[in-house]
Amino acid sequence: LLIKKHKCMQPKDFVEKTPENDRKLQRRLDQMAKELAFQKIASTSETDVPVLLFEDNGSLVYSPISKIKDQCNAMERRIKEMKEKRENISLTASQMSQMLSSGSPE
């Protein structure tokens, strides 16, 4: 005797959803891309449009442009300071190599 099982009990072929075969996911990704492009435009312009910002603790927060610009300026200053310090270190290293090469003129 063959016992028929319900269709809902049969294993289904699993198809992983990707943007190529899932319209809903494709729309969501397109919307996220548009929002990101808008945020980039807003951050470069002078309008005070709030945008998404990642905090140090990993949380995601809406933040005004002025706060982001302050953080960017602080980060740029920090990077410049690091570069200056690194250049000073490399200068001493190059000076040491010059001293070694001039010490043995043979």
Residue 33 lies in a domain: yes
Specify if 40 maps to a domain. yes
Confidence of residue 30 (pLDDT cuts 50, 70, 90): confident
Residue 8 lies in a domain: no
Q: Domain limits at 83?
A: 24-101
pLDDT bucket at 48, cuts 50 / 70 / 90: low
Does residue 3 sit within a domain?
no
Positive or negative CA dihedral for 59, 56, 64, 32? negative
Structural domains in the chain (count): 1
- Say if 73 falls within a structural domain: yes
Asked if 40 and 49 touch (Cβ cutoff 8 Å), the reply is no
Other Cβ atoms less than 10 A from the Cβ of 64: the count is: 13
pTM above 0.75, yes or no: no
Please check whether residue 69 is in contact with residue 80, taking contact to mean a CB–CB distance below 8 angstroms: no
Per residue in 71-90, pLDDT tens?
677 777 887 787 777 655 55
In a domain, 95, yes or no: yes
Please, which pLDDT band fits residue 105 given cuts at 50, 70 and 90? very low
pLDDT digits (tens, 9 = 90+) for 52-73: 667 777 777 666 666 666 667 7
pLDDT at 95 over 80: no
